Amino acid sequence: MSRVWNFSAGPATLPEEVLKQAAEEMLDWRGKGLSVMEMSHRSPEYTEIFEHAKRGLVDLLSIPETHDVLFMQGGAVGMNAIVPMNLLRGFDAAAFVNTGSWSKKTAKEFAKYGRADVVLSNDADLGQFKAGSYVPDCGALVDSLKSKKYAYLHFCDNETIGGVEFNGQIEQIASQLAFPVVSDMSSNILSRPIDWNCHGLVYGGAQKNIGPAGVTLVVIEKRLLGRSIDHCPSAFEFATVAENGSMYNTPPTYAIYIAGLVFDWLKRKGGVAWAQAEAQRKSALLYKTIDDSQFYTSPVRPEDRSKMNVPFVLADESLNARFLSDAANRGLVQLKGHKSVGGMRASIYNAMPYEGVLALTEFMREFEKEVA
């Protein structure tokens, strides 16, 4: 068996140890004579698996008693509708920070439910940096939002397509806002600690740092439960899901089981502190390779570069196809940039080992030499 280095943005590479354990337990989970996939979600065996996964996440992210953890479905895109339906009672608008494709999509969907005020955006070029390739300055937000009555302020902590990651600016101002902060952390959750005093709601799809697609994570401040609008579907109502321990209806049982194994793996490695240090080490290596070369360019402002998704372009775009096929021949796959931006993108989530990034940078240097 030979596995490739998979740089997919998601569904993404998973820890090999987790896949092996899942394979071993596939037919017969711990002597019970059945697969996790075949268990009733209400059985004692599955209850143990579920509670273990939930505890794993709570431990890793130090989630306090003030917040509830919900395992839901619908993906982060589903959350673009589910969140407004759950938080809009008594409000007619929310504030949005646009930093790229995903945050834009969120604001657009919100407009079906209320007024989406884009209060800050990176839509205009900033000096040498093009629109979408930097984090806008949040310094003036506190003053400009002072007299506003918004249900919440939404931002996307890591723009998976543009490769732009926040640097804590929103957290720094959160306590001065009169309304809660909602963040999409689909592509960088578990890569850094989260200060829960600053986050009313964090959500994300699982298929990057958590596990397989199919489960959607919601961590919500308990005081925000019970703000849903009348026609919010019960299966998607946070209060109902919370009251029923994420079992109001059948949860994505197998995806949650794998997530639990991923949490165990991450704990063994050293938890979120380890993930953060690794993300720093891996992304620094890749960005240095790009910056040191005459052939590759990162379009993102250096201080706003994502540690999870690294887009880069080749000096000669006509070599893109050859770059991708030569890379694939070396077992380096899924490097093509998102269709909306082109170029290349290497996603280097927690489960991508340093060796994988090293192999990519060695290939990139050789390719540059070859075509020079």
> Is 282 or 345 the residue whose CB approaches ligand PMP more closely?
345
What distances in angstroms separate CA 128 from CA 101, 231, 342, one per listed residue? 20, 47, 19
As a whole number of angstroms, the distance between CA 136 and CA 119 comes to 11
As a whole number of angstroms, the distance between CA 136 and CA 84 comes to 24
Known binding residue 160? Answer is yes
Asked if 92 is an active-site residue, the reply is: no
- According to CB under 6 A, which one of 8, 13, 99, 187 is a site residue for ligand PMP? 187
Chain-centre distance for alpha carbon 223: 24
82 near ligand PMP, judged by CB under 6 A: no
> What is the rounded end-to-end Cα distance, in angstroms, of the chain?
35
Asked if 282 is an active-site residue, the reply is: no
Helix residue ranges per DSSP H, the chain: 16-24, 44-61, 75-87, 101-110, 141-144, 169-174, 238-243, 253-269, 271-292, 320-329, 354-371
- The minimum distance between CB 146 and ligand PMP, in angstroms, equals 29
Using CB under 6 A as the binding rule, the residues of this chain from 142 to 161 that contact ligand PMP are: 156, 160
* Bond prior to 11 in cis (omega within 30° of 0): yes
Q: Give the number of residues in contact with ligand PMP, rule: CB under 6 A.
A: 12
Only one of the segments 24-32, 74-82, 136-144, 173-181 lies at the binding site for ligand PMP (rule: CB under 6 A); that segment is: 74-82
> Is 79 or 174 the residue whose CB approaches ligand PMP more closely?
79
191 near ligand PMP, judged by CB under 6 A: no
- The minimum distance between CB 188 and ligand PMP, in angstroms, equals 8
Using CB under 6 A as the binding rule, the residues of this chain from 165 to 184 that contact ligand PMP are: 184
- The minimum distance between CB 45 and ligand PMP, in angstroms, equals 28
Question: Which of the following is catalytic: 208, 282, 307, 336?
Answer: 208
Question: What single letter denotes the amino acid at residue 119?
Answer: V
What distances in angstroms separate CA 365 from CA 231, 292, 295, 361, 362, one per listed residue? 56, 10, 9, 6, 5
Known binding residue 253? Answer is no
Asked if 20 is an active-site residue, the reply is: no
Known binding residue 184? Answer is yes
As a whole number of angstroms, the distance between CA 156 and CA 329 comes to 35
- The minimum distance between CB 12 and ligand PMP, in angstroms, equals 9
For 55, residues 6+ apart whose C-beta sits below 8 A from its C-beta are none
> Binding site membership for pyridoxal 5'-phosphate: which residues?
102, 160, 184, 207, 249-250
Point out which residues bind ligand PMP (CB under 6 A).
9-10, 75-77, 102, 156, 160, 184, 186-187, 205
